[in-house]
Amino acid sequence: MKGKSIAEQLERLDLVIKKLKELQHLHWPFIIRTYSWSPQGWIDYPRSFFRNLQMTTDALVWSNVKADRIVLHKELIDLLMNHEIEIHHYHFGVFCIYSDLGHHYSDEYTEVALGKKRSQYVQTLPKANLISDDDYLTEIWASLIEHRDTHIGEHRRNPYLTNVRMLFTPEQLEKVTGRGFYDCDWVEPISGRLDLESKKWAGEHDPMAPVQLSEGWIEGPIILGHEGAGNGLRHFVLGEKVFAGHAIQVKFGGGWIAGRYEWSFEKGSPIKIVAGSDVIYISEGHTVRVKG
């Protein structure tokens, strides 16, 4: 805390620790990582959680004075060594002292700065890292993928999600699955599906929002059927007849192309859509919108 004496800063740090212990229903979101080259491991926290916790506890104990930071850090280490705080309290305390996790202050972690006993103890602790909310949520989702090898090959099943839908950019999902997703802007893994089966979304279409049709329009597959006894064939959408010249919207990817319906009335012939100066052809079963 700039402009405050070290005694006042120590008092503030003790108050922050007290508030942390008194917080009810506090869930610490973190990811534990282990590496062969780092026996103590790493703990990743979402950065937003620490920022929110700092505001909740009024934890403004950062100092631009090196000597003050070292004193505050020693106090934290002693509390942890004496089992008065947990490792998460320690990491959050370091965040408050250094306004990050201290990685750029290596000279303040030395034996000269902390003393031999404290310095050696700190070296045995898991390191801490702050990651983005995107990376934290993606990593947690990926950890829920059912993954095992079977006699017929690799088996991967998407996490089961009943009341939550999640979208990822192709690059974000590829980071945790190793699988490329192409020709789309967003990927939505389908709950419980094998082989990471996903829906793909492109363009500006919002996959989370229900499609709101304009009044009088209906949407569905265009189906060929008989108009009635003794009458010829005609196309229908949800039971509604489609007539020559009928205004129609044809679904392509994440968008729609507006045009005019034409057909030769010959079974098996393609459906013709005149869209301005362009002509496109679709087959029976294509999703369209027509006036009801």
Number of H helices, E strands in the chain: 8, 15
Element (H, E) at 198: strand 198-201
- Between CA 79 and CA 75 the distance in angstroms is 6
| 169 Cβ contact list (under 8 Å, min separation 6) | 185, 186, 187
Domain with CATH 2.40.10 in the chain: 217-291
Mean pLDDT of the chain: 87
Residue type for position 240: E
Decide if pLDDT at 212 tops 80: no
Residue 34 has what pLDDT?
A: 86
What confidence category does residue 209 fall into, taking pLDDT thresholds of 50, 70 and 90? low
Which of 39-48, 68-77, 245-254 shows the lowest mean pLDDT across its residues?
245-254
> Which tokens sit at 61?
């104990």
Tally of CB atoms within 10 A around 290: 23
Are 91 and 128 in contact by the 8 Å Cβ rule? The answer is yes
pLDDT of residue 181: 87
287-291 and 247-252 strand pairing: antiparallel
Cα–Cα dist 93/50, whole Å: 10
Region 276-290: mean pLDDT is 90
- 13, 76 in Cβ contact below 8 A? yes
Is the confidence at residue 255, as pLDDT, over 90?
Answer: no
* pLDDT above 60 for 259: yes
Q: Is residue 235 within 8 Å of residue 263, measured between CB atoms?
A: yes
**pLDDT higher at 167 or 211:** 167
pLDDT at position 143 is 94
Residue 179 DSSP code? -
- Confidence tier at 254 by pLDDT (50, 70, 90): low
Considering the four listed CATH numbers 1.10.3470, 3.40.50, 1.20.58, 2.40.10, the one that applies to the domain covering 217-291 is: 2.40.10
Give tens-digit pLDDT for 88-146.
999 999 999 888 887 788 889 999 999 999 999 999 999 999 999 999 999 999 999 99
Between these two residues, 256 and 280, which has the higher pLDDT value?
280
pLDDT at 292: 74
Give residue-wise pLDDT tens across range 142-190. 999 998 776 666 688 999 999 999 999 999 999 999 989 888 888 999 9
pLDDT digits (tens, 9 = 90+) for 4-32: 788 888 988 998 999 988 888 889 999 99
Task: Give me Rg for the CA atoms of the chain.
Answer: 31
Phi/psi of residue 96, each to 5°? -70, -40
Cα separation of 256 and 212, whole Å?
13
Whole-prediction pTM value? Answer: 0.67
